[in-house]
Amino acid sequence: MPQTPSPSASAAASARFTLDPAFAVGEVNPRLFGSFVEHLGRCVYTGIHEPGHPAADEAGLRTDVLALIRELGVSVIRYPGGNFVSGYKWEDGVGPVEERPRRLDLAWRSTETNRFGLSEYIDFVRKVDGEPMMALNLGTRGVADALELQEYANHPSGTALADLRIGHGDKDPHGIRLWCLGNEMDGPWQTGHKTAEEYGRLAAETARAMRQIDPDVELVACGSSNQSMPTFATWEATVLQETYDLVDHISLHAYYEERDGDRDSFLASAVDMESFIENVVATCDHIGARLKSKKKINLSFDEWNVWYQTHYHRAEPLNWEEAPRLLEDNYSVTDAVVVGSLLIALLRHADRVTVACLAQLVNVIAPIMTEPGGPAWRQTTFYPFAQASAHGRGRVLQVNVDSPTYETAGYGEVPLLHATAVLDESTGAVTVFAVNRDQHRPLPLEIALHALPVTRVVEHTVLADADPEARNTLTDPERVTPHPGEDTALADGALRTTLEPMSWNVIRLA
């Protein structure tokens, strides 16, 4: 049940901040708007790939889903896992489809047909104007297999593996630049789980060998699976001690959900995300200082989302089905507001978070849902991501809010306003992204803009609903959509508006 707002969240209280182009965080890397496709549940099969569907193209990709992905504005797409990758044999997913082996997937206790593999993934990524981000199996495999996949995927011709790719119908190299050195190797649930020392050594040797093929390859080392891991920070420090000069990024993963009816804390989830980012940055820079390196390690937040993990129990009978319905969370408008706040957190740290992947893309804790043989539709969480991707490209400006606060059980005293702003320097346009965390009361907002040459409000859109549990479903796919904000005005160098209770807001100025 919603909690009673604290007395500090009074109806008369207002929030404010100042925007000045002289004070910026950094440029947004387009990879911040990435996503994730894992062989898990129906993400691939009957999600993006369904031969025989009325909307399927010649490759079996659902064109209705491709259109939604392009609308979502996804940049980089991580593949094929996730936990799945730690038992994956890449060569099972190449060559003639009818000759590919069926395998047991230990991660999700499913049967993998390998009908969708490397070539299909690259074709899919190109059709949605994305960039590939390939994860390597450092759980049950290692250096030799990583090198073979790199050569098969990227070498032009003249070697056994490159010519094998050509023989499989892909004349041109796949051109994969961004590689993950394993997945969540700190987690005891991971097939091939390792200690930080074991993983750091393996990641370093893999990175060193891959750079012998291509010195310019971009590599992501595994960081902690989440900030609550008992080895958090020690894991990062140990791994980076081995890999600092060999990798470009270290990964972060975090999922959030409402627990025990504590919606106030859930709405403040970004407090944890920002803390996680800042703690990892501090650890990276500490190791850099110890090594007397001028290099900066950037962050790849390559799994993040709202995920109701308490709804998923590993004890559930999973009988090695093909593409079972797993983790198909149906998101409410409350969940969408939290997703918007998490996007704000990523943008507020765009100077160091240069890759981020919403996990996952279709059906599995996803912004897009499908029905086999039927339609595809947008979940509530689709909208904040699509709007941030469309209007969040440019230079992030510093936002230091003066806001009323409220008390949370999870994070203590938290501002009701969570906000960031992005400046498009080519046009002078500014987009403000703002969340009002107050469940029941509107929040007046004033933004000082004297240092910016903006003269008009292009639009103010709001994602909110009188019913915090409102959702989009197969039978009602447009129950929740953004609507125009009211009484938003620009005058005398300031923007004034009122944010609806528990809302995600996009205010575009030109």
Residues designated catalytic: 184, 303
Q: Are 433 and 347 in contact (CB under 8 A)?
A: yes
* β-sheet bridge partners, residue 181: 221
Tokens 């089905």 correspond to 321
- Please tell me the number of Cα atoms within 13 Å of 424 on its side-chain side: 15
CA distances from 287 to 7, 247, 351, 433 (A): 44, 13, 18, 34
3-state secondary structure of 354: strand
Cβ count within 10 A of residue 96: 8
Cβ count within 10 A of residue 317: 5
Tokens 């004297």 correspond to 450
In 274-404, at which residue ranges do the beta strands (DSSP E only) sit? Answer: 298-306, 353-359, 368-370, 376-378, 395-397
* β-sheet bridge partners, residue 15: 445
Residue 243, phi then psi, degrees to nearest 5: -115, 0
Tokens 């979940």 correspond to 379
Which residues make Cβ contacts (< 8 Å) with residue 290, sequence separation at least 6?
241
Cβ count within 10 A of residue 492: 8
Cβ count within 10 A of residue 15: 21
- d(C-alpha 506, C-alpha 218), whole Å: 33
How far the first Cα of the chain sits from its last, in Å, is 41
- d(C-alpha 35, C-alpha 48), whole Å: 13
Q: Are 153 and 164 in contact (CB under 8 A)?
A: no
* β-sheet bridge partners, residue 218: 178
Query: Long-range contacts: 308-311, Cβ < 8 Å, 24+?
Result: 308/257, 308/258, 309/255, 309/257, 310/257, 310/259
> If phi over 0 gives left and psi between -120 and 50 gives alpha, with beta otherwise, what is residue 240?
alpha
DSSP conformation class of 321: B
Q: Are strands 110-112 and 103-105 parallel, antiparallel or unpaired?
A: antiparallel
Q: Are 139 and 193 in contact (CB under 8 A)?
A: yes
For 187-209, the three-class secondary structure string (H helix, E strand, C coil) is CCCCCCCCCHHHHHHHHHHHHHH
- d(C-alpha 414, C-alpha 405), whole Å: 5
